[in-house]
Structure 1
């Protein structure tokens, strides 16, 4: 019988200029630079959990394995080894591929997730064939079912995913998991030129779960794990689909077991997608928290569709918070339209939004995206270590009006200014 090994890159992961873990989103991104109130946490790689749960072939999934443990599994001679990774860990993954080729040459290697998009765009064909057999760009369940000869249109299920969590490390070194995922869909049709998610799914949205399945899975989570605080309904911009959101809200309101007393969810949104709603209806859907890609105060006039709406970002965020909906947002520094005057205006506007938690990062031309191809054509993309191709790694290209170290200093300044204005997030 065909056997499959799924794995993330082996630990330890590299660190970037702010010296925090790539697997700790709380300290790396959302509560950075908040002194003793900087939270620490852990996150899981849910995509491969989803794939493993939806193929018939027996599989093992290693999350953040040591090299010794990974080698032990490779020696068992799996038919397929699937590695899902971020581009920052590419060097680790290349060494893992070499180990597989040496210790289990009959194993077929499949590379996936965002790192696969970068790998596919960056390396020549002979190098790619040397290190892997298949590259999965797109929805992984369909890809693996097709690869294994299984029915590609069989229903998708999402059972028990591990839970992630954040906390103060001086209260609890290992934060308890209290938040988990339901994957509603993948991809985004908004078409931002820097967006790897858009490119991964060819500017399309792939729906994985219907509203009734989201609702039933959410209930099962709260029923079997009653200390769950929130369920993340993952979709790059789920609020873009009001018929789905409203149907889940209706089911929650009519539920007599939990209802709005217990069931709640976090969803990704945009200023554009939120403009489709009467803000008073959103709390009644169970909507508790959202991540909004603000990007820049100037994003609407620069052609970024997700920021286009009658109500601005600051007004939208304050309106949500007035209704008890927590907000997380992101600012990106280093666009070509940023100069030494308006970048300060951008930071000040972002701070004035008063988000609950937030991230400030630099523009990155992710390999495989339209932005990367344009900048490469302009001769502005550098050959840099993979660890530098990320939110806090250096970007890997020549910014129009800034040096990289200046943007990194502005990121830290922006975090500090936000903290000194609003205080800690928790």
Structure 2
């Protein structure tokens, strides 16, 4: 039996092609050993139909976000013409299960490890019937002319029961930048983010599990840097302290650098000391806006400009590199408020920042607002959710009630100009302080250029 897992990407989107799908790696590693021995499984991060014809899988699993759903439907149609079972998972189908295309057999809703394992086992045992599918929790499938959604699957309470993701199938090279998840979920409910809805309550890997995985990566791949992709790596300060103590006991201590994410209100002298002590040198913050009113709209009443300013100050005090993300284009945000954010960035000591124009992603409160206004629908052209505003502005869903797409494009270009200055300044600094990472960056750039 053959299974092909495909991460549906937009090859023109540099952000998407930069990362590999740990989610698919988890699906593979979670399969019981007796099942794993009976299948030939492969993971690819492109969508070549030639790959499908060459491999001739019995099952194709698609991992897909909303903006790439059009492409997922094309791949599904190609597969059904060859009588291949098609399963789809990830954020889009979990947020809007009723979007399951006629050429897709099963949609996995929410966490997929246990569900995928049960589906594969059913297929191996030749028990793949609609009656048996009804017994599997956390899926949606077609039954005649209807969609059947089964009972929700309980969350995996013990994250340590999930093995490390199978990176061997992800075709990762030694020395690459590596990514890890040490928790699932987020305790906050930002209006633009679906993480808390998709993952449910916050759950953490133990400190020991985290450090064991770091050690595994260093022993097998010798990474220059490990980035923790958690929504909030430092949310549990007790666990953070335990991770730091365990890292300090390892031979790799101070031989690998870490990038972490944090929320501004959790940054203080205590947390920053621990971040620095563990060997992290880059901290990513979701600051979102330089205007108090817009900030509270995007995040919640707990967010405030005072915390944002203090967070940068604390991190720079310990000589940490600070990167932040910002969002413009909220419904009631004015031109003046957007320029306030730009002014905040210019006056700040941020090393880097990313700028995005607000998008209504399925599973978020912003999506629900846009749905009520008729700006989106479940049968829309999903390419309109492509977040690359610079190249997609003519097709972009504009949520602003104050500015049109051309005014937003001009304001967006001002942020890009400021970002370019900071990138150049940081590049010069890196040449002298991080030559190995510069060489790796150039190699990766060349590789992506010729591959894509």
Class of the TM-score when normalised by the shorter of the 2 chains: 0.7 to 0.9
Which of 69, 73, 88 aligns to 2:67? It is: 88
Shift of 1:22: 4.8
TM-score by length of 2: 0.74
Correspondence for 1:283? 276
* 1:302–1:89 CA distance, 2 compared to 1 (3 A): closer
What secondary structure, in the 3-state scheme, does the structure 2 residue paired with 1:115 have?
helix
Q: For residues 22-75 of structure 1, what are the alpha-carbon distances to aligned partners after superposition, in whole Å with 9 as ceiling and x for unaligned? A: 535xxxxxxxxxxxxxxxxx32122111211221333221221422112323xx
In structure 1, what is the equivalent of residue 105 of structure 2? Answer: 133
Whether 1:274 and 2:267 are equivalent positions in the alignment is: yes
Q: Give the 3 Å change call, closer, same or farther, for CA 325–407 of structure 1 in structure 2.
A: same
Aligned to 2:90: 113
Determine if the alignment matches structure 1 residue 44 to structure 2 residue 20: yes
In the alignment, the residues of structure 1 paired with residue 214 and residue 301 of structure 2 have an alpha-carbon distance, to the nearest angstrom, of 28
Unmatched 5+ stretches in structure 2? 123-155, 428-452
Distance 1:274 1:400 in 2: 34
Query: Residue in 1 aligned with 2:212?
Result: 216
Which residue of 367, 372, 377 maps to 2:372?
A: 377
Residues 117, 333 of structure 1: CA spacing in aligned structure 2 closer, same or farther, 3 A cutoff?
farther
Check conservation: 2:66, 2:385, Cα contact below 8 A: yes
Deviation of 1:245 (Å): 1.3
Q: Does 1:387 align with 2:383?
A: yes
2:269, 2:368 → 1: CA distance? 33
Q: Map 1:212-361 to 2 at 5 A.
A: 212-226=208-222, 228-255=223-250, 257-259=251-253, 261-275=254-268, 277-297=270-290, 298=292, 299-302=294-297, 304-305=299-300, 308=303, 311-361=306-356
Aligned equivalents of 2:220, 2:11: Cα separation in 1: 36
Call closer, same or farther: CA 1:305–1:273 in 2, change over 3 Å: farther
Return 5+ residue gaps in structure 1 as ranges.
25-41, 166-174
Distance 1:399 1:309, change over 3 A: closer
Q: Which of the numbers 70, 85, 91 marks the counterpart of 2:52? A: 70
Contact conserved, 1:279 with 1:320, CA < 8 A, in 2?
Answer: yes
Whether 1:413 aligns to 2:406 is: no
Quote the residue 1:400 is aligned against: 401
Q: Do the aligned partners of residues 14 and 141 (structure 1) sit closer, same or farther apart at CA in structure 2, a change above 3 Å counting? A: same
Q: Tell me, yes or no, if the aligned pair for 2:352 and 2:419 is still in contact at 8 Å.
A: no
SS at match of 1:355: coil
Does the Cα contact within 8 Å between 2:244 and 2:274 map onto a contact in 1? no
Higher relative contact order (CA 8 A, sep 6+): 1
1:367 Cα deviation (Å)? 2.1
Shift, 1:286, TM fit: 2.5
TM-score by length of 1: 0.79
Runs of 4+ in 1 over 4 A off after TM superposition: 162-165
Residue 362 of structure 2 corresponds to 367
Q: 1:217 to 1:346 in 2, by over 3 A?
A: same
DSSP 3-state at the match of 2:356? strand
Aligned residue for 1:179? 177
Q: Tell me which residue corresponds to 1:158.
A: 164
> Is 1:8 aligned to residue 7 of structure 2?
yes
Give 1:149 shift.
5.1
Over the residues paired in the alignment, what is the CA RMSD in angstroms?
3.1
Q: CA deviation at 1:129?
A: 5.1
Relative to structure 1, the CA distance from residue 388 to residue 380 in structure 2 (aligned partners, 3 Å threshold; closer, same or farther) is closer
How many aligned positions are there? Answer: 378
- Structure 1 partner of 2:131: none
Quote the Cα distance in structure 2 between the aligned partners of 1:82 and 1:116: 13
Structure number with higher helix proportion: 2
The secondary structure found in structure 2 opposite 1:391 is: coil
Does the aligned pair in 2 maintain the 1:14–1:387 contact within 8 Å? Answer: no
SS at 1:240's partner residue? coil
Contact 1:384 1:396 in 2 (8 A): no
